[in-house]
Amino acid sequence: MKGDRGVKMRLEGLGAEKLINGLWKEGVPLSGIRRTKKRGVDVTVPQAHFRRVKEEAREKGFQVTVLRVSYQQKIKKTLRKRWGIGAGMVAGLCLAALTLSCVWQVEMVDAGKYAGEVRLFLEEKSIRPWIRQKDVDTAKLQEQLLWRLPEVKWVFVKMTGVKLQVKLEEGVAAPKEKEGPGDIVAAMDGVIERLTVFSGTAMCKEGDVVHKGQVLIKGEETDKDGQVRRVQAQGQAMARVWVRESIRMRTEEMMTTPTGRMEERFLFRTPFGVYTFGKEPDFLMADREYTAYPLPGAWVPVTVIRERMYECSGEWTERNMQEVVLEGEKAAKEALVRAWPETADLDKTTKTSMIERGIVEVVAFAQMTKDIAQSGNQP
């Protein structure tokens, strides 16, 4: 047993060794035994056996001196004298347990255009900060959100510590089957490469140029008696199409020069909002520098942000046109892939033009083959 977990005491008197041997035989685990100059022995006694050893030693005429009190005994003694500390510790532990069992923050990730709908859903379900975590059924919420947002590819609801996170990924809505007869129309302009008709009557052929909204397969069929009847047209129209995305770039950039004036203020970011201490300076233009660090000892996650604002003057200067064009072409191609992921591995062309002073437009094009058939006209 480690000496710092017991009580160190000194036994003074004749026959101290005999007393210690007797205690050993009775099963008392002693440690740190050392003889002293004045007919005494220093020994460390476990806290559980301290009272017994002390009483037995005094009954046999030994002088007992406590040299070091165990941590447990020190704590007990302190709590007896200052009961308020103990009460505060208990209250603090209870408060910590209570707050850690609650939701501190509800976060939406990649909600996009569905952010308002998700927020309304959470309000309807009374999901808000400080609700108990055991009252939040993440699996049920996930299932209900998927049902409510059919155009979302998937929904992920999970607890991360004390934060409830709702993450969405947008997808393509499943085609809705229309009841009753109807036509198949072109979803976009293109050149038909292959037309496969499952039901209905073809209204175009391979090589035809079609435009968005044009009827490709009419929802009509002629039976063996020559009677025309309306049906729901079904089929596939593989076409060569061209897609494009454009971005605009400035040919000038703002160059800033510090004036020497600087202002500083502090912001506190909490789950309930951002609170500012200090007014916004009256600078017309400023470079900002942020330093963030967590506030230690806070019951809720609080981040202290120091914001330094350096006043500066600005002047527009011409950029290198070749760099602008290269940067614009790269950005336009990336925008095209984001809008049409199937173009990621296809060759792309770009076109740059000056649309007004100081601004150029870069357009990225790609050619691909896709099915442009979609349900359209109904009688």
**Res 215: pLDDT:** 92
Q: Decide yes or no: CATH 3.30.300.30 for domain 105-170.
A: no
The kind and range of the H/E element at 18 are helix 16-25
Contacts for 343 with CB less than 8 Å, ≥ 6 apart: 243, 336, 337, 366, 368
Q: What is the pLDDT of residue 231?
A: 87
What is the pLDDT at residue 241?
A: 94
Task: Tell me the pLDDT band of 2, cut-offs 50, 70 and 90.
Answer: very low
* Pairwise CA distance, residues 326 & 364, whole Å: 12
Query: Using 50, 70 and 90 to split pLDDT, how confident is the model at 342?
Result: confident
Mean pLDDT highest for which of 28-32, 80-84, 111-115?
28-32
Strand-pair partners of 362: 247, 352
**338, pLDDT greater than 70:** yes
Residue range 364-379, pLDDT digits in tens: 999 999 999 988 755 4
13-28 burial, b at 16+ Cβ within 10 Å, e below that, comes to beebeebbeebeeeeb
State which of 56-70, 152-166, 252-266, 269-283 shows the largest mean pLDDT.
252-266
d(CA 375, CA 174): 12
Alpha carbon distances (Å) from 1 to 7, 24, 46, 47: 12, 14, 8, 11
DSSP state string for 30-83: -EEEEE-SSSEEEEEEEGGGHHHHHHHHHHTT-EEEEEE--HHHHHHHHHHH-H
Whether residue 335 contacts residue 364, with contact meaning beta carbons closer than 8 Å, is answered with: yes
Question: pLDDT tens for residues 195-225?
Answer: 999 888 999 999 999 999 999 999 888 877 7
For the segment 33-52, the average pLDDT, to the nearest whole number, is 79
Q: Which residue is associated with the tokens 């209250």?
A: 91
Asked if 231 and 199 count as a contact pair (C-beta separation under 8 A), the reply is yes
- Average pLDDT of 145-165? 78
* Complete DSSP assignment for 119-173: HHHHHHTT--TT-BGGG--HHHHHHHHHHH-TTEEEEEEEEETTEEEEEEEE-PP
Cα 285 from Cα 256, distance rounded (Å): 9
CB 277 within 8 A of CB 267: yes
Q: Which residues pair with 102 in a beta bridge?
A: 132
Residues of the chain with CATH 3.10.20.310: 105-170
pTM for the structure as a whole: 0.44
Flag whether pLDDT at 179 surpasses 90. Answer: no
Closest to 160 in 3D by CA, of 96, 107, 95, 123:
107
**What is the residue type of 275?**
Y
pLDDT of residue 190: 94
Provide CATH 3.30.70.250 ranges for the chain: 3-76
Between CA 344 and CA 49 the distance in angstroms is 77
Q: What is the mean pLDDT of residues 50-66?
A: 82
Which CATH number applies to 3-76?
3.30.70.250
Distance CA 127, CA 166 (A): 11
Residue in this structure with the two tokens 């499952």, named with its chain if needed: 198
A 10 A CB-CB count for 12 gives 15
Residues 104 and 162: beta-carbon distance below 8 Å: yes
> The dihedral of CA 271, 277, 283, 289: what is its sign?
negative
CA distance 120 to 166: 13
- Give 226-245 pLDDT, tens digit per residue: 888 888 888 899 999 999 99
Average pLDDT over residues 251-258: 86
pLDDT of 174 strictly over 50: no
Q: What percent of the chain is modeled with pLDDT above 70?
A: 84
